[in-house]
Amino acid sequence: MKSILLFDLDGTLTDPEEGIFKSIQYALGSFGIDLTDSNDLGKFIGPPLRQTFRDVCGFNNADTEIAMSKFRERYFDKGVYENVMYTGVDVMLKKLTDIGKMLLIATSKPAVLANTVLFHFNLDMYFTFVSGSELNGIRESKVEVIQYALEQNNITDLTSCIMIGDRKHDILGAKSIGIESIGVLYGHGDYDELFEAGADYIVKDIDELSELLQSI
């Protein structure tokens, strides 16, 4: 029985695309870079942001920190609210808590922003703990945030846990720690990415995810 459910946030509970895309474009504009391709912009949703600035833009450490600062300049003010909760998420979370599931957030997003999003959509009441990164870059990888969530809640029975996310980083992070995972197709990953990463389950929408989580 999976009594402990660890949820990714961006692309799993809410769609942050508009706010992240516009804030990335704002940050890169300060370098004279006009990034408009949605495939390239989509790479910034899911992985740690510092890593993606390096991978996609080839930034060194100094430029990465400048880009992070410019991104947050817009995102903290506007971008975090340019967000949409996936239809049915609130209903699903209520059902899961009503049957006694323990819900945790495990996100590479800074915890302060994750809490802002949860509060904005009135989802904070469903979660026992929010594990995210720190603004200074501490605890950015999915392995680290999952491990931190488990440690802070004294969870040692890994067979009782399952990770839910939309990108390979969620699946690979769970596998590294030794817990099962569910990949969702309504977010920003695709079937091949989740399958190749080794997801134990792959679901197409919120209804299918809700049914699965209530049955396992």
Report, as an integer, the average pLDDT of 12-37.
95
Q: The tokens 């699965």 sit on which residue? A: 212
The angle subtended at Cα 194 by Cα 188 and Cα 196, nearest 5°, is: 140
Q: How confident is the model at residue 47 (pLDDT cuts 50, 70, 90)?
A: confident
Is the pLDDT assigned to residue 46 strictly greater than 80?
Answer: no
Phi, psi angle pair for 73, to nearest 5°: -55, -45
Rounded to the nearest integer, the mean pLDDT of the chain is 95
Give pLDDT, residue 140. Answer: 84
pLDDT at 96: 98
pLDDT in tens, 202-216: 999 999 999 999 999
In this prediction, residue 110 has a pLDDT band, given cuts at 50, 70 and 90, of very high
Instruction: State the sign of the Cα–Cα–Cα–Cα dihedral 101, 188, 172, 105.
Output: negative
What is the value of pTM for the model shown?
Answer: 0.91
Is residue 199 scored above 90 in pLDDT? yes
Contact 71, 49 (CB under 8 A): yes
Q: Which residue has the tokens 């802070």?
A: 152
Task: List the 4-7 sheet strands across, edge first.
Answer: 129-133, 102-110, 4-7, 161-165, 180-184, 201-203
Question: Which two tokens mark 17?
Answer: 């695309």
Q: Is the pLDDT of residue 135 over 90?
A: no
Task: Answer whether residue 157 shows pLDDT above 90.
Answer: yes
Distances from the Cα of 39 to the Cαs of 21, 31, 35, 43, 189, in angstroms? Answer: 11, 20, 10, 7, 11
What residues have CB less than 8 Å from 56, skipping those under 6 apart?
Answer: 40, 43, 44
Query: Is the pLDDT at 28 greater than 90, yes or no?
Result: yes
Q: Does 63 qualify as catalytic in the annotation? A: no
> Domain spanning 4-15+84-215 has what CATH number?
3.40.50.1000
**What is the chain's Cα-based Rg?**
17
Q: 170-186, pLDDT tens digit by residue?
A: 999 999 999 999 999 99
User: Tell me, what's the pLDDT at 112?
Assistant: 94
For 80-140, the DSSP string reads GGS-EEPTTHHHHHHHHHHTT-EEEEEEEEEHHHHHHHHHHTT-GGG-SEEEEE-TTSTT-
Residue 163 has what pLDDT?
Answer: 98
Amino acid 183: pLDDT: 98
Which residue among 8, 10, 15, 166 is the active-site one?
8
**How much is the pLDDT for 179?**
98
What is the C-alpha separation between 139 and 198, in angstroms, rounded?
A: 23
Q: What does the pLDDT read at residue 129?
A: 98
The ranges assigned to domains in the chain are 4-15+84-215, 17-81
123 contacts: CB under 8 Å, gap ≥ 6: 13, 85, 89, 90, 93, 117
Region 96-123: mean pLDDT is 96
* Superfamily designation of domain 17-81: Putative phosphatase; domain 2 (1.10.150.240)
pLDDT higher than threshold 90 for residue 34: yes
